[in-house]
């Protein structure tokens, strides 16, 4: 038994899709979430930057006493999963392997599309993971710049979403996929518009549920489930952006109240030394 919280992080609101699955499957667990809104989007950033950001967030979560860290962000998983596993002494879970397993479970043809941020697509983490797990899947990966901004701007449907999503997803038209992995945790919040453009015969898959099952497996294996069961866990949210906006959009998207949203401010980077 272990009463400490589970830490979850993302560049902003997207990881709430994973937190929701965790809250549903493990209602007794305390959850602490950090959305790094001030530094989103992560997708166009370098691997080194995301490693630094992820290490800073892990330190913050560890200072809150977390017993496990869920990287609810594909971009940070691609850049920093291995690093955090090497440098922290709690289990660290990413969202890519669960996403690949979920796709493997539902595809009939083995032709699977993956959409994600630039760094996720460039890292080829989905291809490497599918190969490592010996799935035999044939993946077509597409970077989708601008999708995350739609979510953070609260425009998940409407003319701008149609334009940005439609223009990009037309690239998948000739690939004959039967499953599309939403390889960015923001994208389930765009699911209706994505489905409208990719075709209703394509099954959309997100990593949220599979990630939550993986967390439960680890808690069961380690005996770290919180007890006594039946007393609901607390949900604490930190954002490096504006807490009122985070709460408003988070509640709108997820349909449950975010009653405890707190601000976290990163210390300002030191100014570069002046030339003498």
Give residues in contact with ligand DGL (CB under 6 A). 10-12, 14, 40-43, 73-75, 117, 120, 148, 184-186
- Decide: 243 and 219 in contact? Cβ < 8 Å: no
- Establish whether the linkage from the previous residue to 228 is cis, with ω within 30° of 0: yes
**Residue among 94 and 219 whose Cβ is closer to ligand DGL:** 94
**Residue among 61 and 184 whose Cβ is closer to ligand DGL:** 184
**Residue among 185 and 226 whose Cβ is closer to ligand DGL:** 185
What minimum distance in Å lies between the beta carbon of 44 and ligand DGL?
7
CA angle 98, 111, 151 (to 5 degrees): 55
What minimum distance in Å lies between the beta carbon of 66 and ligand DGL?
19
Given 70, 114, 139, 184, which residue is catalytic? 184
Say whether 144 is catalytic.
no
What minimum distance in Å lies between the beta carbon of 183 and ligand DGL?
7
Given 8, 32, 73, 190, which residue is catalytic? 73
Q: Which residues contact 233 (CB under 8 A, 6 or more apart)?
A: 5, 23, 26, 27, 28, 29, 30, 31, 226
**Residue among 4 and 264 whose Cβ is closer to ligand DGL:** 264
What minimum distance in Å lies between the beta carbon of 36 and ligand DGL?
8
Distance CA 261, CA 51 (A): 25
Residue positions annotated with a catalytic role: 73, 184
């Amino acid at each position: 038994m272990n009463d400490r919280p589970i830490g979850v992080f993302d560049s902003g609101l997207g990881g709430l899709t994973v937190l929701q699955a965790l809250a549903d499957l493990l209602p007794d667990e305390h959850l602490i979430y950090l959305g790094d809104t001030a530094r989103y989007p992560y997708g166009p950033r370098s691997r080194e930057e995301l490693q630094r950001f992820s290490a800073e967030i892990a330190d913050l979560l560890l200072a809150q006493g977390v017993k496990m860290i869920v990287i609810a962000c594909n971009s940070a998983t691609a850049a920093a999963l291995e690093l955090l596993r090497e440098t922290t002494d709690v289990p660290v879970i990413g969202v890519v392997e669960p996403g690949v397993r979920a796709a493997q479970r539902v595809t009939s043809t083995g032709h699977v599309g993956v959409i994600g941020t630039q760094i996720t697509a460039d890292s080829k983490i989905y291809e490497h993971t599918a190969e490592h797990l010996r799935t035999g899947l044939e993946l077509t990966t597409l970077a989708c710049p601008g999708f995350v901004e739609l979510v953070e701007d609260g425009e998940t449907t409407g003319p701008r979403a149609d334009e940005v999503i439609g223009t990009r997803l037309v690239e998948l038209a000739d690939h004959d996929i039967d499953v599309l992995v939403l390889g960015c945790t923001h994208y389930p919040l765009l699911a209706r518009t994505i489905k409208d453009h990719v075709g209703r015969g394509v099954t959309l898959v997100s990593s949220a549920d599979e990630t939550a099952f993986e967390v439960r497996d680890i808690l069961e294996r380690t005996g770290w489930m919180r007890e006594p069961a039946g007393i609901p866990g607390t949900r604490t949210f930190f954002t490096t952006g504006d807490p009122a906006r985070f709460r408003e959009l988070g509640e709108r998207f997820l349909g449950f109240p975010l009653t405890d949203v707190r601000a976290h401010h990163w210390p300002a980077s030191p100014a570069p030394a002046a030339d003498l």
